[in-house]
Chain A
Amino acid sequence: MTELTLASAITSGLRHALAQDDRVVIMGEDIGRLGGVFRVTDGLQRDFGADRVMDTPLAEAGILGTAVGLAYRGYRPVVEIQFDGFIYPAFDQIVAQVAKLHYRTRGVVRMPITVRVPYGGGIGAVEHHSESPEAYFTHTSGLRVVTCSNPQDAHWMVRQAIASDDPVIFFEPKRRYWVKGEVEDAMQAAPPLDRARVVMEGADVTLVAYGPLVATAIDAAVAAADEGVSVEVVDLRSLSPVDFETVEASVRRTGRLVVTHEAQQFGGLGAEIATSVTERCFEHLRSAPVRVTGHDVPYPASRLEEHFLPDLDRLLDGIDRALGRVNSLTGWSAPAGRPA
């Protein structure tokens, strides 16, 4: 057990994968000598060589497309996309090639490609550096889409993603890169890659979060407890497939659902989770599911992002909505201590 930042827990996971399987190759922009712009691949090229840890040309479609060819050849490419907003040039290769080849060839061709993407806002970045594009990929059959919220999951999940014979889009919450936590190397205790986790138990409301917002959700649950509301926080971990069994079991206990994500609301994960839970256990719901998400606008300039990103107060407001308490929709007057 070592204390690591989330970023270095991923580095450690990559190091294990490189050491354990010589068909694993890491590819990306600036990942070699620089160690990546977030230093997640720091030291890997020095230790495993430029043939295994490859600096690539600045061409995202090129990175993904050549990864497809390497996978045909039996390699397990681990691709780094430098920032969330840079993944779009590779979109065709991911959704039309990587995701489909196993299905098209009726199981003959496997694409064990892991695409690592630092994602999400909250670091005061410029345009194209703060986006949450996960819904584009969860909408694509054939891809597994996962995200982590803490160093331990980051370490285990990146190793599981690389070991998976399916393509995995691995979203890394960049504003949590520097958060520290205890990390166990051994994989025995690791939950399966597609399993959600109840991180805080509660009785009144299920709050589903993932990636960067899990920490905010926990803060909200603690704050709600001060007001006498017991919130159960579920860390989704896998965004496709979603572990609905865990979410559904929680909602059956609490009778209320709040889903939160940084991404825009329309057509997002929140819509899918709210609908699926409603279909599965409508009779257990005591109120309509609530979404607390980014607004349906392009990711804004950084001086506005605090208004875009769900925060503690917006989550509490969402919980109030689920509880039928006074909230922003029913006519809310801000009490002292909350922003007007």
Chain B
Amino acid sequence: MSSVVVSSSREVDAASGAPHDEPTRLQRPGEQLVTMLAPDGTRHPNPPLDHFVADLTPERLLALHEDMVTVRRIDMEGVALQRQGQLGLWPPLLGQEAAQVGSARALRSDDFVFTSYREHAVAYCRGIAIDTIMPMWRGTAASGWNPFEFGMAPPAIIIGAQTLHATGYAMGCAKDGVDSTAIAYFGDGATSQGDVNEAMVFAATYSAPVVFFCQNNHWAISEPVGLVARRPLADRAPGFGIPSMRVDGNDVIAVMAATRWALERARSGDGPSWIEAVTYRMGPHTTSDDPSRYEDPLEREEWAAKDPIDRLERHLEQLGVLGDAHRAAVKEKADATAAAMRAACVGLPDPEALKLFDHVYTEPTAWLNRQRSQYEAYLAMFEGGDEA
């Protein structure tokens, strides 16, 4: 367990001790993270970034609070459904609500989102109905929603593959002469992958309007970020000619500001940007693993004190806008969403057997038609008859 702590401190040492010869990091010297909302809820000014979030009135902050509480409730329900055998797997997002909500709420509907598999909150913010998130995890379909309807691709399970898709999509936006953008969500583990590094090469080469949104949740399943990163992940991008920002991923305001900074660069033709949202995965990688085998409980306690929802609540209390009525309404909405999610999940019918053969090609092939007919004939032997 001590290796985890050592790894983490090595990263901190590197961040504060090593000189930054690239001027492209939008951070003040010595400042480790862009934070606008302190853990105690105090809003600190950040002159380079404040104008990106000038529109965050108390009402809008309350809406972000509602989003985060709702997606946390969705996530809890996902874990529960898996534990009850209703889902095959669930990758929890607990602790990453601000990173996902703050960034997703910065996007326009004509931007296109390419995610990994943990971004249920991003899907929620894109307006994707919760019942279309379930089929993939229940195993009734390989994916749920229509990507073109919501501007969001189906989740990529292969780590980092989607960063290239986002880059290609962004190259297409530039070719089309529109100011739409693409955003790629991935984790700290993905930064080891060739695809992510190639995505940065292509994005820089073609000045693609793409935002690389890395959620550094400190864990690649059981491997701590310190195992693969000797310096902050945000330091990788400048080497590719891509400016980066290291932001407090549990601070929804700072995350939104950082994402808007990157989106503005993309829309105005300045090309790709890289955001490292430093957060913490407060649960297992998926419902299949056991963090007690590898995680230092003290480290988790430290991060619990930086909880993204508590932090915003403290701020809203300081603003005097977090009343009992809002709390009750938010809880009610979150519970109702979770109930709808449960109902949608357990109500999902198993697909018909012959659907297996649909959509392999845009035009059916003789080969597959033959295989389908043969299997249909095989299944017909059992219909209404004695299956023994």
Contact = CB atoms under 8 A, between A and B. Distances in A.
The answer to whether A and B come from one shared complex is: yes
A275 to B, nearest CB: 13
A241 B366 contact: yes
B195 A61 contact: yes
Contacts of A65: 161, 163-165, 167-168, 195, 198-199
Contacts, number: 144
A6 to B, nearest CB: 26
Interface string A156-176: 000000001110000000000
B158 A97 contact: yes
B361 interface: yes
Interface string A21-62: 000010000000000000000000000000100101101011
Interface string B299-336: 00000000000000000000000000000000000000
A241 B363 CA distance: 12
A73 B198 contact: no
B109 to A, nearest CB: 16
Given A69-B168, A97-B161, A141-B360, A62 B201 contact: yes
Contacts of A166: 361-363
Given A65-B168, A66-B168, A72-B169, A109 B195 contact: no
Interface string A62-96: 10111111111111000000000000010011001
Contacts of A106: 141-143, 358-359
A108 B148 contact: yes
A69 B171 CA distance: 8
A69 B165 contact: yes
Given A73-B176, A92-B161, A107-B359, A59 B142 contact: no
Contacts of A56: 202, 205
Interface string A113-144: 00000000000000000000000000001101
Contacts of A93: 161, 164, 195
Given A72-B147, A108-B146, A62 B165 contact: no
A113 B121 CA distance: 31
Nearest to B368: A241
Nearest to A62: B198
A244 interface: yes
A72 B362 contact: no
A89 B194 contact: yes
A256 interface: no
A265 to B, nearest CB: 22
Contacts of B142: 100, 103-106
Interface of A: 25, 51, 54, 56-57, 59, 61-62, 64-75, 89, 92-93, 96-97, 100-110, 141-142, 144, 164-166, 194, 241-245
5 contacts: A65-B195, A102-B362, A108-B148, A166-B362, A241-B368
